[in-house]
Amino acid sequence: MAVVLKKSRALDALNMTPFIDVVFILLIFFLVAARFAQEDHEIPVQLPTAQSALPMTLTPEVLTVGIDERGNFQAEGQPLGAAELEERIRQRVADNPLNQMVIIRGDRRVPFQFVVAVMDMCRQHKVPTYKVTTAVPETSGQATE
């Protein structure tokens, strides 16, 4: 036996004109906004110079320094000596003085003096933010000895 469905008139009364108007208004808004943002960079300007000018930065830069159990330093995938690491930190702060961050990842078996040496380099070159990372202990709900 065939099922006969009655056609509803609710969809016949749906008016699409307001939806189309809203879409056109949004389209015009985004086109105008994009044009104004583009014009800001198209104006030919010769900028003045200043001795204490800082470079423009968009995102915080992170330099991760690893220290293995023998006290060897590594940054950006390269093994470095202490003098090379200090120069790398100095250069990164010069390139991005306000948003440079140094993350220090020291092996738990390394003497703490190596971690302090990197912290001292950061303080000496005025790194705005430096952090020492630690591992989160695994908790299983039982007390550990």
CATH of the domain at 125: 3.30.420.270
Structural domain count of the chain? 1
Q: In the chain, which ranges are E strands?
A: 61-67, 73-75, 78-80, 100-106, 129-132
pTM score, whole prediction: 0.55
111 falls within a domain: yes
Q: Is residue 122 part of a domain?
A: yes
Distances (CA, A) of 33 to 4, 24, 30, 39, 121: 52, 14, 5, 10, 45
pLDDT band at residue 5 using 50, 70 and 90 as cut-offs: low
Q: Please write the tens of the pLDDT for every residue from 54-95.
A: 555 556 688 989 898 888 899 888 899 999 999 999 999 998
Amino acid at site 113: Q
Q: Per-residue confidence at 25, pLDDT binned at 50, 70, 90? A: very high
**What's the mean pLDDT when you consider all of the chain?**
79
User: How confident is the model over 101-130, as a mean pLDDT?
Assistant: 90
CA dihedral of residues 18, 22, 23, 25 (deg, nearest 10): 140
Query: Within a domain: residue 84?
Result: yes
Split at pLDDT 50, 70, 90, the class of 44 is: low
Domain span at 75:
61-132
pLDDT score for 16: 82
